[in-house]
Amino acid sequence: MADRSSLIDYSNSGGIARITIDRADKLNALDAGMVAELHRICLEIDSDASVRIALLSSAGDRAFSAGGDIKAWGDLTPEEFARDWLRRGHDAFNMLARLRVPLIAVLCGDVLGGGLELAATADLRIAENHIRFGQPEAGIGIIPGWSGTQRAVRRFGAGPVRRMALFGEILSAEQALAAGIVDHLAEKGAGMAKAESIAATVLSRGPAATTAIKMLINAAEGEERESALETLAGLAVSQSGEPAKGVEAFRKKQKPEF
């Protein structure tokens, strides 16, 4: 069996970071190690100035992701489930949603449960036209625990989330497009090409402006509002030159002159 790190492939070339969930034999279900790897990759992307946009995809065409692997959490105590599994999943998915660069999800297989929560972290979703969407968690007595009732509602609206999570409705790709869950449809096998075309457009636009716009949209949506506003304000103050003067004066044990 491949080592754990190989279950999440990561590469960066030409300003495009590529994150690929490579566990098709398990419907790209996430275990604890994969969740931790997603978190680590997000830190790498945010610290790499060469990255301008990120693409999130998965192996195979059966499932984008079946969400959390039941074998990874099924035997946890309630305390472990809440403290470790749910919280760490939230941490990783929050990192994806709050990347400083735009994130495109390429959906080449069914998007169910935690897979829908994972897709919701993206700024734009491209669905191949053969796939389905749903939130089946209540059918096994659990809730959508990785922001499937929070971020999903903010980004898709309450209507389709109610239909899937409360009433068990499964949506086709065309229905998901009409409901605002996805932004573009593509023929089977053509989703990545569509994403790469859109990524090329992003690469032609101002990187600083793109980052600022993403943070402002996130703030307006209620995604990391406080940190987004303080980060942008801090950037504006830093560009004024005042922090540099203050630091230099501090080092010289002098009073700064602004």
Q: pLDDT (tens digit, 9 = 90+) per residue, 43-79?
A: 999 999 999 999 999 999 999 998 888 787 777 787 8
- pLDDT tens digit string along 206-254? 999 999 999 999 999 988 777 777 777 877 787 788 777 877 887 888 8
Per-residue pLDDT averaged across 170-192, rounded?
Answer: 98
pLDDT at 3 over 60: no
Do 132 and 170 meet the contact criterion of CB atoms below 8 Å apart?
A: yes
Please calculate the CA angle 109-128-70 and round it to the nearest 5 degrees: 15
pLDDT band, residue 4 (cuts 50/70/90): very low
Which amino acid, residue 201? T
What pTM was computed for the model?
Answer: 0.89
- Tell me the backbone φ, ψ of residue 141, rounded to 5 degrees: 80, 25
Residues 140-149: tens digit of each pLDDT: 888 888 899 9
For domain 4-203, give the fold: 2-enoyl-CoA Hydratase; Chain A, domain 1 (3.90.226)
Q: Output the CA–CA distances (angstroms, integers) from residue 54 to 32, 57, 95, 226, in the order listed.
A: 22, 10, 13, 24
Q: What gap in Å lies between CA 245 and CA 238, rounded to an integer?
A: 10
Task: Return the domain boundaries, the chain.
Answer: 4-203, 207-251
